[in-house]
């Protein structure tokens, strides 16, 4: 294992639009923990929020290495692509303005990538939280595990199949900057938001290299009303830009798979189509399940599981089966392996920051 280079080898790419309150929270966290990497902000905000973020940047300029650029009208992947042209560090990570990437987790991921050249990305434990008041600061209402995963097949097309068969978001991982540039360079015909800002970057990340999940606190995401989320599948597929965006998505992935894996165009197209069908099925199954009343779910489960005869036992089968469940007690308990790294984030979430005076 090579010695750690610290977070100085990492650039955080933060795309933001009209959310200066989240930016203040985020930047104060990194100042609090003494983050040594570079924070690069691609800001598409209007005047009020742009000024608010600039004031925060100026107030913390002695503590953090921050580069701020105004990119009016750009989506997050477009802003990230512009920022990547200027990145000088070995590693990069895309960070939404309303989430956190734990500083020590970033360092562990960089250390892992230093010693494992066959991996393109790494991440750690993901946690989702919500606030009782739903804003930028306040009392935490609850937390739950945010599922990610590992992709360790040797070929790009198999990793892509694995990802889209059991989908999780890869774009928040620490990537080698060279790989990140491929991921975020975009595709002119991909006009629809979900394809452009999530599905294509995630797919390309899987194709370009293996991904490792480490046992460290890493991604802390907030669930709230202003969060950018994928639309309902039916609404998504009836979007006027859906068909053309899918065709551009398909075309880009076919080209990359042919180049990366040396397979034929026909083989690559078959992989993309079958994997995308699996992804759509998974989405629709989940949405249909979420829309079924709990009583119906319980009856269905009771009928399908031998020996399950009571509502109580049926309910147990609906609980998450993964071992990675996590609670506030787990994070706040001093004996927890994640406690020390979580507490600065907890303070950032629960303690409001006064806006700098202009």
Q: How far is CA 217 from CA 30, 58, 335, in A?
A: 15, 29, 14
pLDDT digits (tens, 9 = 90+) for 195-206: 998 999 999 999
| pLDDT value for 328 | 87
The answer to whether the beta carbons of residues 61 and 182 sit under 8 Å apart is no
Q: What is the pLDDT of residues 236-282, one digit of tens each?
A: 999 999 999 999 999 999 999 999 999 999 999 999 999 999 999 99
User: Which CATH number belongs to the domain containing residue 182 in this structure?
Assistant: 3.90.550.10
Tell me if 205 sits within 8 A of 175, measured CB to CB. yes
* Structural domain contains residue 216: yes
Task: Give residue-wise pLDDT tens across range 168-185.
Answer: 999 999 999 999 999 988
Domain with 135 in it: 9-233+330-350
Residue 204 counted as domain residue: yes
Q: Are 14 and 76 in contact (CB under 8 A)?
A: no
Q: Does residue 263 form part of some domain?
A: no
Among 55-59, 68-72, 298-302, 315-319, which stretch is predicted with the lowest mean pLDDT? 315-319
Position 138 in a domain: yes
> How far is 149 from 91, CA to CA, in rounded Å?
20
Is 196 inside any structural domain? Answer: yes
pTM for this one? Answer: 0.86
- CA dihedral of residues 280, 205, 229, 12 (deg, nearest 10): 180
Question: How many whole angstroms separate alpha carbon 352 and alpha carbon 215?
Answer: 30
Q: What angle do CA 180, 147, 186 make, to 5 degrees?
A: 25
């Amino acid at each position: 294992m090579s010695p750690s280079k610290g977070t100085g080898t990492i650039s955080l790419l933060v795309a933001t639009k009209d959310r200066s309150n989240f930016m203040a929270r985020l930047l104060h966290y990194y100042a609090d923990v003494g983050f040594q990497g570079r924070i690069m902000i691609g800001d598409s905000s209007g005047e009020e929020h742009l000024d608010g973020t600039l004031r925060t940047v100026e107030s913390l300029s002695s503590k953090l290495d921050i580069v701020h650029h105004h990119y009016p009208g750009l989506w997050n992947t477009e802003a990230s692509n512009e920022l990547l042209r200027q990145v000088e560090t070995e590693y990069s990570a895309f960070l939404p303005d309303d989430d956190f990437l734990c500083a020590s987790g970033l360092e562990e991921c960089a250390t892992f990538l230093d010693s494992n050249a066959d991996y393109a990305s790494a991440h750690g434990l993901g946690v989702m939280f919500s606030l009782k008041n739903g804003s930028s600061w306040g009392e935490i209402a609850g937390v739950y595990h945010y599922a990610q995963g590992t992709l360790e097949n040797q070929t790009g097309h198999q990793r892509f199949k694995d990802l889209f068969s059991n989908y999780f978001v890869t774009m928040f991982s620490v990537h080698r900057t060279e790989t990140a540039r491929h991921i975020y360079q975009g595709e002119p015909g991909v006009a629809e938001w979900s394809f452009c800002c999530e599905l294509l970057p995630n797919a390309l990340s899987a194709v370009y290299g293996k991904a490792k999940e480490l046992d460290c606190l890493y991604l802390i995401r907030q669930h709230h009303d202003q969060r950018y989320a994928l639309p309902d599948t039916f609404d998504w597929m009836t979007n006027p830009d859906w068909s053309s965006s899918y065709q551009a998505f398909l075309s880009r992935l076919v080209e990359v798979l042919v180049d990366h894996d040396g397979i034929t165009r026909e083989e690559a197209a078959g992989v993309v189509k079958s994997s995308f069908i699996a992804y759509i099925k998974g989405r629709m199954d989940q949405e249909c399940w979420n829309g079924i009343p709990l009583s119906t779910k319980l009856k269905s489960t009771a009928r399908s599981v031998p020996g399950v005869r009571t509502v109580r036992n049926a309910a147990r089968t609906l609980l998450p089966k993964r071992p990675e469940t996590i609670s506030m007690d787990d994070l706040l308990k001093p004996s927890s392996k994640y406690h020390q790294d979580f507490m600065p984030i907890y303070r950032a979430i629960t303690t409001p920051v006064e806006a700098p005076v202009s």
